[in-house]
A and B are shown apart, each in its own frame.
Chain A
């Protein structure tokens, strides 16, 4: 596709087109969160995860998926408020690195008189990779969404009431 040249037309076009970039970024954030979620409990280290953390983690993941999906739909419509929600969801992904993966990586359990690491390096870095990619997607989508929403809002303020986006 050819490059846009007229910035005013590009902004005016936003009145009728969706913010697909931010929406797609939110979907990608969901996808990589799923990869992380599937990967995190792959373990042969007995009952390390069998505590309240596992229940909380599952519930959080469900809520995360729901919230991120809602954001993907709303940022599509240049809703700035949901861009901020998406930004928070992105930041949370970075924080999550320190909740389960980092703790599991540094924890050891004794199985058959042998001390074993709960999460080996390979699994640890895979989990980090998924969380970082998910977080980066969410943050990028949110920042772009905030920028576009504000641009559109400013542009619409210059138009007559009847010409605004319905």
Chain B
């Protein structure tokens, strides 16, 4: 049970290279926070600073009201799960899980009870006498988690724990982590570049780019109300379609298409009349209709839906790329013209790239 506060945390490497800029976050007790972003955005660096594996260049890290900015990693009462498991190959699973407690000099009987309890939670009871190389990737990752559980730390830290697993195993291990979080009700910080993991696991997501926090919110907030173009394009699969459009009072005019605006939208965009903005449309918010002609380049049937890729076209010329996620089974061939309409739009200021208003319609 722990409350973790990151106050104005910064990481500056030699040569004045700033990896993390003014990171602020209040992690509530029992909350699972996912740091998500592309490679190099500073999410792992932030996690490592929290763990004590990297020095904090500026700011304060507070755990349960105690400033632990300068506290060594071993005294922070946090446990970390790494991408590569970091298990000892010559030890059995039992010994791996018991190792940190043995080093602490705890009573062997107490260690035994803790290891068995953790193994029970993680379904590893029958594997305890095996060596790590006898287990699958998913089982190994569960052992790595078990090793942290036995320590009963205040905060669990996960650094891309599922990246080494294949897609199927990733899904099942993800569900196990979620169940584990519910069962332990522990404070967890989880780093991933996979937005599916972020959306399915997180109580709140911290979306990062180039060392800056772009948005903090629940998965639904980030999906429905992206704060800026980066978040809009990063969260959601396939990513959001973005078009440069001009506001023309009662409609938007883009290259090769026009979209009508209702009264509420017109009110929102009142100060942008005759100005360019960015229109964001999620592929799943496009339906077969009449507003936008799309010259199809490929048609991917997914069963329940069909992904139609193409370019907006006025019949002669083709313009911006567009991806539509249409309901049902479609059979468009390359060169066909599919007409679609928008049932939900996001607007972004072209200069700042910030959201003008999360959603309209």
A residues engaging B (CB < 8 A)? Answer: 1-6, 9-10, 12-13, 15-17, 162, 165-166
Interface residues on B, range: 10 to 19
A19–B347 CA distance with the chains assembled, in angstroms: 69
B105 at the interface (CB under 8 A from A): yes
A10–B109 CA distance with the chains assembled, in angstroms: 6
| A159, chain B: closest CB distance, angstroms | 12
Given A162-B126, A166-B126, A166-B129, check contact A17 B109 (CB 8 Å): no
A16–B108 CA distance with the chains assembled, in angstroms: 12
Given A165-B129, A166-B129, check contact A16 B109 (CB 8 Å): no
A53–B161 CA distance with the chains assembled, in angstroms: 63
Given contacts A2-B107, A4-B108, A16-B129, 11 further A-B pairs with CB under 8 A are A1-B105, A3-B107, A5-B109, A6-B109, A9-B113, A10-B108, A13-B108, A13-B109, A13-B112, A16-B128, A17-B108
A1–B108 CA distance with the chains assembled, in angstroms: 8
Q: Which 5 A-B pairs have the closest CB atoms?
A: A16-B94, A9-B109, A2-B107, A13-B112, A16-B128
B92 at the interface (CB under 8 A from A): yes
Nearest CB in chain A to that of B130: its residue = A166
| B339, chain A: closest CB distance, angstroms | 62
Dominant secondary structure of chain A at its interface with chain B: loop
A32–B130 CA distance with the chains assembled, in angstroms: 33
B residues engaging A (CB < 8 A)? Answer: 92, 94-95, 105-109, 112-113, 115, 126, 128-130
Nearest CB in chain B to that of A8: its residue = B109
A59–B166 CA distance with the chains assembled, in angstroms: 54
Residues of B within 8 A of A4 (CB): 107-109
Nearest CB in chain A to that of B106: its residue = A2
Could you tell me if A9 and B126 are in contact, using CB atoms closer than 8 angstroms?
no
> Residue among B108, B113, B126, B130 with the most chain A CB within 10 A?
B108
A9–B106 CA distance with the chains assembled, in angstroms: 14
Q: 25 A–B contact pairs at CB < 8 A? A: A1-B105, A2-B105, A2-B106, A2-B107, A3-B107, A4-B107, A4-B108, A5-B107, A5-B109, A9-B109, A9-B112, A10-B109, A12-B112, A13-B108, A13-B109, A15-B129, A16-B94, A16-B115, A16-B129, A17-B94, A17-B95, A162-B126, A165-B129, A166-B126, A166-B129
Residues of B within 8 A of A15 (CB): 129
Could you tell me if A16 and B105 are in contact, using CB atoms closer than 8 angstroms?
no
> Residue among B92, B105, B107, B112 with the most chain A CB within 10 A?
B112
| A125, chain B: closest CB distance, angstroms | 40
> Residue among A3, A4, A17 with the most chain B CB within 10 A?
A17
Could you tell me if A16 and B126 are in contact, using CB atoms closer than 8 angstroms?
no
Residues of B within 8 A of A166 (CB): 126, 129-130
| A70, chain B: closest CB distance, angstroms | 19
A9–B108 CA distance with the chains assembled, in angstroms: 9
Residues of A within 8 A of B130 (CB): 166
